[in-house]
Chains A and B, each alone.
Chain A
């Protein structure tokens, strides 16, 4: 998502709402505007191309069926759609057996972990706040929460990957999430 200009977002909302009314051209437009982001999500979490394509296929079928339920006042269309993609990809990966995850060659790299909020162009206030609050966490907490989000892993997998006992991992993350919650609800 580039610095989201209002008009780009409005175009996306219009395409999604029209998709909900059964408009195929709008569905195509929505696909063109969102599929690279959603494929990035599926590919990262599934770890290989063929499965990521299958999951993406299912994701857009879900979008086609559920677009009528999208409420423009709530999440942005891209967040709404990417959440569906992330959940589907996680379901797929977990159905393959929980210990399976190996970041495959196909998996894509994430941007490095530079402080997030200091970047110049974060237009959206909510987004800015989330990044500021994440930046305020301890490094370990931030890494664990970021990994959980971008890799779609459970506590057990997270503990495994970062080579930390499960109980310790849960404690870090829970304390991190509690701090994040305070920070997000504060002014």
Chain B
């Protein structure tokens, strides 16, 4: 047994990927809560990144690039199925618009489903930033989250919204519009987790969003979802 406690090298452990379960969740929470810790994780990634030079290269199959390129650029019309799908999604978009415009005026005209009250959160500034609280509304029926207009990211950076469910692992939701209200549709995998008590947080990331899939920059605002 060790005679003295192990040193705290959580940032290096997270960067290497050694942690799992609750330890990983704790370290990820620290990335969100402690900018110095987040910078340390980033520094360790860069240090260990030097080892990639040693990684043996293996040529991927020649056809792979074409597959990748095809999936970044789906041809405009591929088949009837594609047309039907895009038709359906414009219908969905249209009905969302109708819902958005009609909602303040009263009950929806057809009221087909029982009204699900939205979840709301007020994301308060966490750092020295003077940003006021940002209001967020999540509509379970559509899986859409809307945020009030905010100007959080400095030039050349982006503000990214994260959901942190009970497991403590941040999931990216999307980037906030700069100085305008934001509306984002959650991926299906995340919708089931959206419930009272879930934390929403906004971090400052490089343009285009976090390259790692986890927050890398300081968290500027956070709040908890509650039932409206």
A117 → B minimal CB distance (Å): 11
A174 contacts across to B, CB distance below 8 A: 6-7, 9, 13
Residue among B19, B158, B211 having the largest count of chain A Cβ atoms under 10 Å = B211
The stretch of B27-35, B57-65, B192-200 in contact with A is: B57-65
Instruction: Contact check, B52 vs A82: say whether CB atoms are below 8 A apart.
Output: yes
User: Do A83 and B56 touch across chains, with their CB atoms under 8 A apart?
Assistant: no
Give the residues from 128 to 186 in chain B that come closer than 8 angstroms, CB to CB, to chain A. Answer: 158
Q: What residue in chain A is nearest B40 (Cβ atoms)? A: A181
Distance from A143 Cβ to chain B, minimum over Cβ atoms (Å)? 14
B116 → chain A closest CB, angstroms = 30
CB B42 to nearest CB in A, in angstroms, measures 8
B183-216 interface code vs A (CB 8 A; 1 in, 0 out): 0000000000000000000000111111111000
Given contacts A75-B49, A145-B16, A152-B17, contact A53 B64 (CB under 8 A): yes
Q: Which of A36, A78, A88, A111 contacts B58 (CB 8 A)?
A: A36
Given the known inter-chain contacts A60-B68, A87-B213, A155-B18, please indicate yes or no for A66 contacting B208, CB distance below 8 A: yes
Count CB-based A-B contacts (< 8 Å): 163
Contact A68 B6 (CB under 8 A): no
Proximity bits, A138-149, B CB within 8 Å = 1, else 0:
000000011011
A145: chain B residues at CB < 8 Å are 16
Known contacts A83-B212, A155-B18; A56 and B52 CB within 8 A of each other: no
Kindly provide the distance from the CB of B198 to the nearest chain A CB, expressed in whole angstroms.
21
CB distance from B159 to the nearest CB of A (A): 12
- Check if A1 is an interface residue, CB within 8 A of chain B: yes
**Inter-chain contact A31/B207, CB cutoff 8 Å:** no
The answer on a CB contact under 8 Å between A110 and B47 is: no
Query: Do the beta carbons of B56 and A69 come within 8 Å of each other?
Result: no
Partner of A35, one of B17, B60, B209: B60
User: A6 at the A/B interface (Cβ < 8 Å)?
Assistant: no
Interface assignment of B105: CB less than 8 Å from any CB of chain A: no
How many chain B residues touch A (Cβ–Cβ < 8 Å)? 46
Provide 16 A-B residue pairs closer than 8 Å at the C-beta atoms, listed in order of the A residue.
A28-B65, A56-B60, A57-B68, A61-B68, A65-B208, A91-B213, A98-B20, A108-B58, A110-B56, A124-B50, A126-B47, A127-B50, A148-B17, A148-B18, A154-B18, A174-B9
- The residues of B with any CB-CB pair to A shorter than 8 Å are 1-2, 6-7, 9, 12-13, 16-20, 45-61, 64-65, 67-69, 71-72, 158, 205-213
Chain A residues in the interface with B (C-beta under 8 A): 1, 4, 20, 24, 27-28, 31, 35-37, 39-41, 43-44, 53, 56-57, 60-62, 64-71, 74-76, 78-80, 82-84, 86-88, 90-91, 94, 98, 108-111, 116, 124, 126-127, 130-131, 145-146, 148-150, 152-156, 158, 167, 170-171, 173-175, 177-178, 180-181, 184
Q: A94-B20, A155-B18 are in contact. List 20 more A-B contacts (CB 8 A).
A: A20-B208, A28-B65, A35-B60, A39-B60, A40-B55, A64-B72, A66-B209, A69-B208, A75-B46, A87-B17, A124-B50, A130-B51, A148-B16, A149-B48, A154-B17, A173-B13, A174-B7, A177-B7, A177-B9, A177-B13
